[in-house]
Amino acid sequence: MAFEVKATIATFGGKLLKLSHQSTSTRTPMAVSVYLPPSALQTASPPPLPVLFYLSGLTCTPDNCTEKGFFSAAAAAHGIAVVYPDTSPRGAAIAGEDDSYDFGSGAGFYVDATAAPWRAHYRMETYVARELPGLLFGAAGPIPGLPGVRFDGARAAITGHSMGGHGALTLYLKYPGQWRSVSAFAPVANPAACPWGQKAFAGYFGEDRKDDEWKKHDATELVRAGKAPPELPALIDVGTGDNFYKQGQLLPENLEAAVKEKGVKGVQVRYHADYDHSYYFISTFAQDHVNHAAKYIL
């Protein structure tokens, strides 16, 4: 059995499952939580569930969003499952991996590191885009004790916050057809041009890879390089009271400029007066993001 169920929590008529499994991508145990809406639990063989992936930000585990993101109410109403991966491998025993909040543990940036020593374990792109979908969307029921529960890989959407917003946008652009829509809360929209992204990319790829490798993992650079479809079904929310926005960590305007320059349609960026970077902001707009995904996956 791929997943081990660590906890089952009743919420909004459905169940939040805290799962653990041994990852072949990161070569570590990985935590992942999955919200099952009530519709998944009402019959022994429910129809396969549409799925929204939520990628969390720096320092987070799956618990931050499941405890205070409030996606479950809207997900329950629509009959959508929500998957919450962790933000990095844990306990890889790499020197320095726990030294800072914005690199290493809790800061995997949803990329596959190419630089030593990180490349042995820090493979969050493959983990989120390939390994987890493979486990969840396989023919066998992936959840121990709930053999009838299936997830529909043809109806998947992706969202995320901050570092996770960067992950959602870049994985959407890098894996055409895998996700039907994308959205982001306060995303790190141009990591190659902000301190968080520069630190992470220098560590995971090397300082000397700025002109090639870094750009492949940067939403703004991907759009500039023509990697966005003509219609990009993206909803992006940013709070104007967000200190990280004010400090130039997010740079959503650079993404907007690239979208405009390339004539990409369908991208909606909303600026909300006074909202900060926290889960007060995320929970306020969570329903809008689930509704956005629902338009494409129901």
Ligand X SMILES: N[C@@H](CCC(=O)N[C@@H](CSC=O)C(=O)NCC(=O)O)C(=O)O
Angle at 231 between CA 227 and CA 234, to 5 degrees: 90
Shorter beta-carbon distance to ligand X: residue 22 or 278 = 278
Counting contacts by CB under 6 A, is residue 284 touching ligand X? no
Shorter beta-carbon distance to ligand X: residue 39 or 61 = 61
Counting contacts by CB under 6 A, is residue 280 touching ligand X? no
Q: Which of residues 137-166 bind ligand X (CB under 6 A)?
A: 161-163
Distance of CA 23 to the CA centre of its chain: 17
Catalytic residue among 162, 181, 218, 289: 162
Place of tokens 């991508």: 25
Q: Which of residues 36-75 bind ligand X (CB under 6 A)?
A: 57-60, 64
Counting contacts by CB under 6 A, is residue 184 touching ligand X? no
Number of residues in contact with ligand X, rule: CB under 6 A? 12
- The 3-state secondary structure of 125-167 reads HHHHHHHHHHHHHCCCCCCCCCCCCCEEEEEEEEEEECHHHHH
Q: Say if strands 81-85 and 14-22 run parallel, antiparallel, or are unpaired.
A: unpaired
Supply the minimum distance, in Å, between the C-beta of residue 182 and ligand X: 17
Supply the minimum distance, in Å, between the C-beta of residue 213 and ligand X: 21
Supply the minimum distance, in Å, between the C-beta of residue 278 and ligand X: 5
Counting contacts by CB under 6 A, is residue 25 touching ligand X? no
Shorter beta-carbon distance to ligand X: residue 58 or 113 = 58
Counting contacts by CB under 6 A, is residue 278 touching ligand X? yes
Concerning whether 277 is annotated as a catalytic residue, the answer is yes
The catalytic residues are 162, 242, 277
| Interface ranges with ligand X (CB under 6 A) | 57-60, 64, 101, 161-163, 277-279
